[in-house]
Structure 1
Amino acid sequence: MQIYLPIAEVSVSAALLLGLGTLVGLLSGLFGVGGGFLITPLLFFIGIPPTVAVATGANQVVASSVSGVLAQFKRKAVDVPMGVVLLIGGLIGSGMGIWVFNLLTRLGQIDLAVQLAYVVFLGSIGLLMLQESLRAMRREKRGGKRAKRHQHLWVHKLPLKVKFRASGLYISVIPPMLVGIVVGVLAAIMGVGGGFIMVPAMIYLLGMPTKVVIGTSLFQILFVSAFTTMMHAITNQSVDVMLALLLIVGGVIGAQIGSRLGARLKAEQLRILLALLVILVAGKLGLDLLLRPSELFSLFPGAFE
């Protein structure tokens, strides 16, 4: 059944959208990621304009983060003070990102900018994840010990130190604030939660224990994504509610299936599969930018004669 999306101004199969939502939900349950960095490129592939894909992708991240945050609060695995510092930075970054997004939209360069951002970030993150996963598998085969994840670096010499009891840290608020700003900018421009950057930064840069990283990250992502969605809706009216609804319904179904499948695979195997998937999506976006499009047109008649 074809359904018309009024904001995206395209007709798409409802079954296809439910299928995409289910696929991303499955990956979320399988790999423990929000899925925002995958749903937005997939929407590009089926003809959804990047401006709508980014804004609606952020909307889905909000929905997928709610249940995760509530579950983490029940486990007492959320460092609320750290989450608030990250959130302040995230809101600042989101505001900056929305301004850049609207500027690029006015210049007519937003489609290219969003796709380039995905190629660069997804390609880099995918390669780093693959390298780390293969290294971890080699260590496991050799029976070697895991490398120490965190050392006392220049981060701990900065001023404005605060004690974060749940994380067992006494550090400056400047690094987590900067991490939040970067994630906020990415959320606004790419329609992602930013967990694929925030989680490694919280572990390796800030030195937070793994038990509170996921919950604290989701706490920040939930509010920053909600703010980003609201700002996109207000400033450029690019949130398609019907599109978001179909993706969310599919995502809920897929997440349940993915969480059950994930229990049957080792962590290293899951990371390698996710890394390969991320690299594949980045490669497809890169090819779309390089290859000659099927339809050529110009706004200026005779420009290419």
Structure 2
Amino acid sequence: MQIYLPIAEISIDVFLLFLMGGGVGFLSGIFGVGGGFLMTPLLIFIGIPPAVAVATQSNNIIASSVSGVLAHMQRGNVDFLMGGILTLGGFLGSFLGVLLFKLLRELGQIDLVINLSYVILLGTLGILMSVEGIRAVTKQSRPGGPRKKLHEHHWFHGLPLRMRFRKSRLYISALLPFGIGAMIGVLSAIMGVGGGFVLVPAMIYVLGMPTAVVIGTSLFQVIFVAINITILQSIETQTVDVVLAMILLLGSVIGAQIGTRAGAGLRAEWLRLLLGLLVLSVCIKLFLDLLIPPADIYSLEVLG
């Protein structure tokens, strides 16, 4: 059954969209990732304009993040002070990111920038996750060896405006999480992702936060930044397709529940390896699409 997407200006099979949402939700449930970095490329593959795919995907991020934060709040695993500063930085970054998004769209370069960003990001993540997964599966890492220190104090922790984050047991400069939040905000606005796959490692290895509070605090920040991006994209670029978002959201919710149960019986090493290979596959497809000449190399544009 075909459905017309008013903002994307394209007719798509509603069952295909539902299955895509369910499929990404299923993978999210298995691998414990938001799925934004998979959903946006898949939408591009089926003909959704990249600008619309990026802006619309923020709605799915909001829904999944709210659900995750509520669960972590019940366990007391959210540092609200740290999350608040990350959010302030995210607001600034997302505002600048949406302005950059609008400028690139007006110049006609936004599609290329989005595709290149995904090729670079997914290629890097896919290789790192695949290598780690292979090492874990083949047991090349030596158990019982000297453990590396999780967090070391560096000069940037001592920048001005130092604050005490009791939940995270840290006394560091507030400029550091603010800057990280701003970087994630720009990334989220340009690529339509929550940024958790970058934010979580930064919170652990740069800020030095305990792993127990990292996920919940990250999701807390993602909620408000994604809301801000959705509002800004709606106002500045008019690229948020509500019809598309609702169909994908319904499929994602159902798929995530199934995926969570399916992933419970799989080993963590195999999950990392499979996710790495999946990310690399999406990266290769995007890269090939950039190299293959389009069927129609001409386009019409109405000026004025």
Q: How far is 1:180 from its partner? A: 0.4
Q: How far is 1:130 from its partner? A: 2.2
Query: Do 2:156 and 2:176's aligned partners in 1 also have CA atoms closer than 8 Å?
Result: yes
Matched residue count = 300
Q: Which runs of 4+ in 1 moved over 4 A?
A: 136-141
Query: Do 2:157 and 2:176's aligned partners in 1 also have CA atoms closer than 8 Å?
Result: no
Structure 1 unpaired stretches of 5+: 301-305
**Which residue number in structure 1 is paired with residue 225 of structure 2?**
224
Write out per-residue CA displacement over residues 191-222 of structure 1, whole angstroms, 9 at most, x where no aligned residue. Answer: 10000100010111111111100000000001
Please state whether the residue corresponding to 2:287 is helix, strand or coil.
helix
Q: How far is 1:125 from its partner? A: 1.7
Q: Which moved more, 1:291-300 or 1:49-58?
A: 291-300
**Which residue number in structure 1 is paired with residue 62 of structure 2?**
62
Measured in 2, the distance between the counterparts of 1:45 and 1:214 equals: 30
**Which residue number in structure 1 is paired with residue 211 of structure 2?**
210
Q: How far is 1:176 from its partner? A: 0.9
Q: How does 1:187-266 map to 2 (within 5 A)?
A: 187-266=188-267
Query: Do 2:89 and 2:181's aligned partners in 1 also have CA atoms closer than 8 Å?
Result: yes
The answer as to 2:102 corresponding to 1:102 is yes
Measured in 1, the distance between the counterparts of 2:178 and 2:271 equals: 30
Write out per-residue CA displacement over residues 91-118 of structure 1, whole angstroms, 9 at most, x where no aligned residue. Answer: 0000000010000011011110111111
**Which residue number in structure 1 is paired with residue 38 of structure 2?**
38
Write out per-residue CA displacement over residues 49-74 of structure 1, whole angstroms, 9 at most, x where no aligned residue. Answer: 01110011111111111111111111
Please state whether the residue corresponding to 2:297 is helix, strand or coil.
coil
Please state whether the residue corresponding to 1:296 is helix, strand or coil.
coil
Residue 289 and residue 33 in structure 1: after superposition, are their counterparts in 2 closer, same or farther (change >3 A)?
A: same
Measured in 1, the distance between the counterparts of 2:249 and 2:51 equals: 19
Measured in 2, the distance between the counterparts of 1:15 and 1:298 equals: 30
**Which residue number in structure 2 is paired with residue 303 of structure 1?**
none
Query: Do 2:135 and 2:141's aligned partners in 1 also have CA atoms closer than 8 Å?
Result: no
Query: Do 1:160 and 1:172's aligned partners in 2 also have CA atoms closer than 8 Å?
Result: yes
Please state whether the residue corresponding to 1:207 is helix, strand or coil.
coil
**Which residue number in structure 1 is paired with residue 50 of structure 2?**
50
Q: Which moved more, 1:243-252 or 1:62-71?
A: 62-71
Please state whether the residue corresponding to 1:12 is helix, strand or coil.
strand
Q: Which moved more, 1:145-154 or 1:189-198?
A: 145-154
Q: How far is 1:141 from its partner? A: 6.2
Q: How far is 1:282 from its partner? A: 1.1
- TM-score, normalising length: structure 1: 0.94
Please state whether the residue corresponding to 1:34 is helix, strand or coil.
coil
Measured in 1, the distance between the counterparts of 2:37 and 2:67 equals: 19
CA RMSD of aligned residues (A): 1.5
Q: How does 1:164-203 map to 2 (within 5 A)?
A: 164-203=165-204
Partner amino acid, structure 1, of 2:32: G
Write out per-residue CA displacement over residues 233-273 of structure 1, whole angstroms, 9 at most, x where no aligned residue. Answer: 11111111110000000000110011112211122221111
Q: How far is 1:20 from its partner? A: 0.5
Please state whether the residue corresponding to 1:257 is helix, strand or coil.
helix
Query: Do 1:155 and 1:206's aligned partners in 2 also have CA atoms closer than 8 Å?
Result: no
